[in-house]
């Protein structure tokens, strides 16, 4: 049978665009449909604008530090509109790069919603149908809001980039990395910031000691973090929102943001009618090769709810092309993914937490907390934290956890060592780079504890 395309990609985010480009470079005839903006969550409403906001929010403290170092400079006011305009321009630039990548590789694009009509047919919003030998679904996910009274008064992370003005006060509900990152951003921009989390400690799933360090430092920097607390009701009160929490207390906020979960964008795609299996969160169930139960249909990225990170979606897209278009069956590697959480302070992590490692066998823990030289000289009380989790059996470093300025940069490099299977002795044999914070990773000689 003759198809219109060898590959039709639904979704123009990082995973979909990469798969489309690489397949086209292999000589495949490729099309891609995107209903919103090219670049997806990461570029348009995720990592990129968030990181720009993190940068912007950190400059306030730099003025004080510079004064402590002898610079005669005075703090000014932060102009949200100036920053926002430049941020929008940067996102437009990046979106155009994504569009250019597709165009330059002869990928035909459709700026409209696409759904799946059958195993080899995609239906566009205008009613046009296109056939393809393979269909790749890379539609990502979206923030969700819980069903509580007055929830329409709340915003999500999608909306925070588009605020007309910075609020004087904000409540952020949630304890994951998105909630915790935006708590730091808003606090750094001078907004009175409160964070509710219903659990015992923020950043569930990360190393207990590291996440506790992050939480304590956030509080030290001015975030009003309230654990074991959730919002149960929102009411409009003039221009503000009155929030009732699980303790029965009420408080007024200018804005309320929920970052309590994300859901895959599978609704209305037509998948279930074709026999594509969806999981409990409506994620697409795929094999190790990203293939669904319908052999011609594949899925990558957040819509599969495996490891919801941009570089992972890109790797899944690359592995899909290797498997389907290069005849080289390739499974994306989801083991030992280094990651950074751009909280303030920043956290970088790779491998197992102490709790996870302990469940697998005897371990040694090497940990240290200290005031870094740059901040200490400026009179700040902030501390950084470094930790290695080591297997007693084979001496391998099972986990590395860093809470410090630049932790994301450090963990990328430490991640290579951990991925290669480096032992504690390999770390010990490496000469320290002095004076740096990261030298502590190779100078910790005595275990803090064993378990």
Nearest C-alpha neighbor of 197 from the set 151, 281, 259: 259
pLDDT digit string, tens, across residues 181-204: 999 999 999 999 999 999 999 999
CATH classification code of 5-141+263-325: 3.50.50.60
Mean pLDDT, rounded, for 116-120 = 98
pLDDT band at residue 403, thresholds of 50, 70 and 90? very high
CA atoms of 221 and 193, how far apart (whole Å): 11
* Other beta carbons within 10 Å of 445: 8
pLDDT at residue 310, as a whole number: 96
Which band of pLDDT confidence, cut at 50, 70 and 90, is reported for residue 103?
A: very high
| pLDDT tens column, 284-293 | 999 999 999 9
pLDDT tops 90 at residue 1:
no
Q: Is the pLDDT confidence value at 240 over 90?
A: yes
Q: Is the pLDDT of residue 67 over 90?
A: yes
Q: Cα dihedral angle (221, 223, 229, 232), rounded to 10 degrees?
A: -170
The 10s digit of each residue's pLDDT in 19-29 is 999 999 999 99
Mean pLDDT value across the chain:
97
State how beta strands 129-137 and 262-264 pair.
Answer: unpaired
pLDDT tens sequence across 352-370: 999 999 999 999 999 999 9
Instruction: Provide the pLDDT for residue 346.
Output: 98
Instruction: Please give the Cα distance from 336 to 350 (Å, whole number).
Output: 6
Determine the topology of domain 339-450 in CATH: Enolase-like; domain 1 (3.30.390)
Is residue 137 over pLDDT 90? yes
Identify the CA nearest to 32 among candidates 86, 98, 109.
Answer: 109
Where along the chain do its domains lie? Answer: 5-141+263-325, 151-260, 339-450
419 Cβ contact partners less than 8 Å away, ≥ 6 residues apart: 336, 338, 350
* Annotation says 434 is catalytic: yes
Q: Is 70 helix (H, G, I), strand (E, B) or coil?
A: coil
CATH classification of 151-260 is 3.50.50.60, yes or no?
Answer: yes
Mean pLDDT of 299-324: 98
Q: Note whether 24 and 79 are within 8 A (CB).
A: no
Burial (Cβ within 10 Å: 0-12, 13-18, ≥19) of residue 430: middle
| Catalytic choice (120, 134, 334, 434) | 434
Determine the Cα–Cα distance for residues 355 and 349; give it in Å rounded to an integer: 14
Domains 151-260 and 339-450 equal at CATH topology level: no
Query: Are the C-beta atoms of residues 348 and 402 closer than 8 Å to each other?
Result: yes
Longest pairwise C-alpha distance within the chain: 75
**In this predicted model, what pLDDT tens digit does every residue of 31-55 receive, in sequence order?**
999 999 999 999 999 999 999 999 9
| CA 55 and chain centroid, separation | 16
């Amino acid at each position: 049978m003759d198809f219109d395309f060898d590959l039709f990609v639904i979704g123009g985010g990082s995973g979909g665009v990469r798969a489309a480009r690489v397949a086209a470079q292999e000589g495949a005839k490729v099309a891609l449909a995107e209903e919103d903006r090219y670049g997806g969550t990461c570029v348009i409403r995720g990592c990129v604008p968030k990181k720009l906001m993190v940068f912007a929010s950190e400059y306030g403290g730099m003025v004080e530090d510079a004064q402590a170092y002898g610079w005669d400079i005075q703090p000014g006011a932060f102009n949200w509109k100036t920053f926002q305009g430049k941020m929008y321009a940067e996102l437009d630039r990046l979106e155009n790069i994504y569009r250019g990548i597709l165009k330059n590789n002869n990928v035909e694009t459709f700026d409209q919603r696409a759904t799946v009509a059958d195993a080899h047919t995609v239906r566009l919003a205008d009613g046009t149908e296109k056939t393809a030998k393979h269909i790749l679904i890379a539609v990502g996910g979206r923030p969700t809001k819980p069903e509580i009274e007055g929830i329409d008064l709340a915003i999500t992370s999608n909306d925070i980039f588009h605020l007309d003005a910075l609020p004087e006060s904000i409540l952020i509900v949630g304890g994951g990395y998105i909630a915790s990152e935006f708590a730091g951003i808003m606090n750094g921009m001078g907004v009175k910031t409160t964070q509710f989390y219903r659990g015992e400690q923020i950043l569930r799933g990360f190393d207990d000691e590291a996440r506790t360090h992050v939480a304590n430092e956030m509080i030290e920097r001015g975030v009003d973090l309230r654990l074991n607390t959730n919002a149960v009701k929102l009411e409009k009160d003039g221009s503000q929102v009155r929030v009732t929490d699980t303790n029965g207390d009420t408080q007024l906020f200018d804005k309320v943001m929920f970052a309590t979960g994300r859901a895959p964008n599978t609704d209305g795609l037509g998948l279930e009618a074709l026999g594509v299996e969806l999981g409990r969160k409506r994620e697409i169930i795929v094999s190790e090769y990203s293939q669904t139960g319908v052999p011609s249909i594949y899925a990558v990225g957040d819509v599969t709810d495996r490891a919801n990170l941009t570089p992972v979606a890109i790797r899944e897209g690359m592995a899909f092309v290797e498997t389907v278009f290069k005849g080289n069956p390739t499974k994306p590697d989801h083991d030992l993914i280094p990651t950074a959480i751009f909280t303030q302070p920043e956290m970088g992590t790779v491998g197992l937490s102490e709790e996870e490692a302990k469940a697998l066998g005897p371990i040694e823990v090497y940990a240290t907390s200290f005031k870094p030289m740059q901040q200490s000289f400026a009179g700040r009380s902030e501390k950084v934290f470094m930790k290695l989790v080591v297997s007693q059996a084979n001496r391998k470093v099972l986990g590395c956890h860093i809470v410090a300025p630049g932790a994301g940069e450090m963990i990328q490099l430490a991640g290579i060592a951990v991925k290669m299977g480096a032992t504690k002795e390999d770390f010990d044999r490496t000469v320290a780079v002095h004076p740096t914070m990261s030298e502590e990773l190779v100078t910790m000689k005595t275990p803090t504890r064993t378990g």
